[in-house]
Amino acid sequence: MNDNPLSFLIEIIFDLFLMVVLLRIWLQLVRADFYNPFSQAIVKITTPALAPFRRIIPGWGGFDFASLILAIIVVMVKYLLIALIIGAAFDIPMLLIISLKSLVHQAFNLLFWVMLIRAILSFVSQGFSPIESLLHQMTEPLLAPIRRVIPPIGGLDLSMLVLLIGLQMLMKTVQWAFPGLL
């Protein structure tokens, strides 16, 4: 692991932007409320970087491929800059593999944290919140099928716990099937 402060700063900045791009992809997939203030912030943050890609990369079947390409490029540029800073050798195929690995890892992390934040907000919420509403729209397509199989027991909804355990199981399976991927 590299202890270079500049590498650390680049990693943080690029990872935060990557999370915002992944959130945009997720919000578009679930057709979340575009007028939600949190959605608007995500759109405003990502649009300047995404606009050039949208001109040449079309969406297909409701999926925004331009955002996915942007996410891959963000990760590739991050690793390229870090390699240049620490003086490490790199080759394009390896850079692409590492970038895809990192993208999958960040997507799993994002899903985990969104689920955890929604669970915590469900305990402390004092009424309507735009962020809570958006988190509900994002996670409900994942939780509803679980609720059909495991309904709430005595007012306790276990779907979130089942999804988090399933997510961890999926991550472990990917790690087992593809050693070194995550």
Give the start-to-end residue ranges of the domains of the chain: 5-177
Provide the residue type at 167 as one letter: L
Higher pLDDT, 156 or 135: 135
Q: Residue 182: its pLDDT value, please?
A: 52
Give percent of the chain above pLDDT 70: 97
Burial class (CB in 10 A: 0-12, 13-18, 19+), 137: middle
Q: Residue 180: its pLDDT value, please?
A: 61
Per-residue pLDDT tens digits for 51-74:
999 889 887 777 889 999 999 999
pTM reported for the whole predicted model? 0.87
Closest C-alpha to 122, from 112, 130, 131, 132? 132
